[in-house]
Structure 1
């Protein structure tokens, strides 16, 4: 439990620092937007490039990859289907991202190492790629199509496709994958620059989340959508991962356990970044991130007790 708290504590601390900086007016009302732009356009692309450029594709297991992809996309599609008609496409996409986007980078990697050692690194790595690249791309496409609604399906698809290929968070991992496949390495100075930018990605995203929570503190938790999204993230997604990895694919026990652990991670900052860029459901996204992080301390502790 103490080890888990040590992993999760920095998340709360960064959110709290952002909240405090806004409440005492160290950072102004424009800070959340500007910091989020820095993350989306510079820091996160550098992080994603580094992950894919250093990936060893031969070490990935197909059963784990299918289980994680199924859990992420399955949760996204399920929530999208349940909320689409009630709130409209754009808002439903952000909610679906909030229910599906796992914090596999900041929390998943250290927790995987804590439980399974170095064996876990390729698995947590593919989890990050599936979440931050594939799932994020689905959200981006959905939001662009919602924005182009009424202009015809062809134009909407063209606009969504254009947004994906121009987005730095899609370009960077694709370029990184090319580097990895061809065995290329950037010059040392470029590698250092990218490392510095990548190191700022998650802290800045969490500080921006704290700023947003402070800016909207008076609104409180009036919209209780976060409760159902939290249940989908912490309960439904791990169950889907277990069903695919275990009963369906009959993966080895340790692979099943790792898939479930990665699916149990709380919501990451990705949905909040999308919500800010497209000005949709930012309050619900931020509340879901906060509540899943708090409650995951309990759910992950129970799970680790069960598998040990």
Structure 2
């Protein structure tokens, strides 16, 4: 456990440096925004494109794996939605709270961290989880918010959701890579070197950007934020573990990667979504802050088990 904690410490040290740089105004909000944009549109997209284009399709899309992850996510999503509705919130806030509990930081944190700790073998399971998060749950929360406000979901709303997915650089890079992989085309050496060099910037820059972005987060409704953080750090990985290991019999190492990805702190893009729709952004902000800080400890427990399973 201590050894794993020491292995993950450099990752959280990078987050801390980003936080200090922004907190002292050495790194201003505009610089944070542009660094995040660089990671999102260039470095992380290059990493995703390189992995998805070089991996066989059957290594990324595994039916049992996908069903296990979806079952765990929907179970937790339902739990947190019901609890929120019982407190008297509307459907929009309930959907945002469920999103906070279910969707961890797979792109900016899980992919670079798990690949660095476990090697390229960790990429395929993380890519599958990320695809489900972006396509299924990224669409679901918008549909629920739209339906709660307009009483129904129009074709125009569905069209906007589809266009939004197509414009997402992570979705685009993974889609292009998967098409390349499906056609069984070799990746030219210069192109692979280019993607590797650019993609290698994703890990330090993404972690730094996470830390810098935490400076703007506020503490609102701490009791709810603690509940949602407990959901994303404990309940979500536990639910995914139950379905992966005891219901769908997923390969233990792949299941471990899925569980570790599910145990990541709440994703930062949920705050952007909440702010865009005006649905409890301060509550989401608190959850991101609390879950990120708490994950320094909780991830060590999860990763110590995952690393212990080893690839089969």
TM-score per shorter chain, which class? 0.7 to 0.9
Q: Secondary structure at the match of 2:222?
A: coil
User: Structure 2 matches for 1:84-123, cutoff 5 A?
Assistant: 86=89, 88-89=91-92, 92-93=95-96, 96-101=99-104, 102=106, 103-109=109-115, 112=118, 121=121
Alignment coverage as a number of residue pairs: 294
Which runs of no fewer than 5 residues in structure 2 stay unpaired?
276-280
Q: 1:82 to 1:40 in 2, by over 3 A?
A: farther
Deviation at 1:110, TM superposition (A): 5.1
CA contact (8 A) 2:22 2:28 kept: yes
Deviation at 1:129, TM superposition (A): 1.4
Q: Secondary structure at the match of 2:29?
A: coil
Determine whether 1:294 maps to 2:300: no
Determine whether 1:271 maps to 2:270: no
Which runs of no fewer than 5 residues in structure 1 stay unpaired?
none
Determine whether 1:132 maps to 2:107: no
Q: How high is the TM-score relative to the length of structure 1?
A: 0.78
Deviation at 1:179, TM superposition (A): 0.7
Deviation at 1:196, TM superposition (A): 2.9
Cα distance in 2 for partners of 1:202, 1:289 equals 16
CA contact (8 A) 1:14 1:206 kept: yes
Cα distance in 2 for partners of 1:142, 1:59 equals 26
User: Structure 2 matches for 1:213-228, cutoff 5 A?
Assistant: 213-216=214-217, 219-220=218-219, 223-228=222-227
**Which residue of structure 2 lines up, in the alignment, with residue 40 of structure 1?**
40
CA root-mean-square deviation = 3.5
CA contact (8 A) 2:263 2:302 kept: no
Deviation at 1:6, TM superposition (A): 3.3
Deviation at 1:76, TM superposition (A): 4.1
- Deviations 1:157-207 (CA, angstroms, capped at 9, x unpaired): 121112112222211101100111112234444333322332222332321
Q: Secondary structure at the match of 1:224?
A: helix
Q: How high is the TM-score relative to the length of structure 2?
A: 0.77
Cα distance in 1 for partners of 2:75, 2:221 equals 28
